[in-house]
Amino acid sequence: MIAAFAGILACQLAGEFVVHAFALPLPGPVLGMFLLFAFLVLRGGGGAVPHKLGDAADGLLGHLSLLFVPASVGLMRYLDALAANALTVILAVALSTALAQAATALTFRLLARSEPMSKP
């Protein structure tokens, strides 16, 4: 468990290092995700992840919502700025988010259908 968590932190650290060293427009943890993914692909487990790494990841992701709570409370600092443009902001966020979700899902479905999932 400790080793798995250390591995996850090492990926994040490597991600942060590369992002800052090369001034990439990406957050370190996102690059860290791609690094861990690359490690798992190179290790070759046919879709199976080491047990302890799997447990650590499931533990972190099982309550992902909780981890967003502290940042979301930060909304309280911008309530005035948001209220001043409330209608615009609400309509733009709501409509645009719905349109983006619909466009993404419909595009995916359209092409995933023409390229059947069934294995030969």
Partner 1 sequence: MIPTLLKPHPEVWVYLAASPLSWLTLTLAAYLVADRVSIACKRHPAANLVALAAIFIILALKASGTSYETYFAGAQFIHFLLGPATVALAVPLYRNLERVRATALPIAAALGVGSLVAIVSAVAIARLLGAPHEIVASLAPKSVTSPIAMGLAEKLGGAPFLTAALVIATGVFGGVILTPLMRALRITDPAAVGMAAGLASHGIGAARAFQIDSTAGAFAGIAMGLNGAFTSVILPLIRPLLGM
User: Interface residues for partner 1 in 8-67 (CB under 8 A)?
Assistant: 8-9, 11-12, 15, 25-30, 32-37, 40-41, 45, 47-49, 53-54, 56-58, 60-67
> Scanning residues 80 to 109, which ones bind partner 1 (CB under 8 A)?
81-82, 85, 87-89, 91-109
Question: How near is the Cβ of 101 to partner 1 at its closest, in Å?
Answer: 4
Residue choice 2, 22, 51, 72 for contact with partner 1 (CB under 8 A): 72
**Residue 41 C-beta: closest distance to partner 1, Å:** 7
- Give every CB contact of residue 40 below 8 A, 6+ residues apart in sequence: 49
Between CA 97 and CA 104 the distance in angstroms is 11
Does 2 sit near partner 1 (CB under 8 A)?
A: no
Minimum distance from residue 18 beta carbon to partner 1 (Å): 13
Would you say 9 and 24 are in contact if contact means Cβ atoms under 8 Å apart?
Answer: no
Long-range CB contact pairs, 17-26, < 8 A, 24+? none
Beta carbons within 8 Å of 60's beta carbon, 6+ residues apart: 8, 67
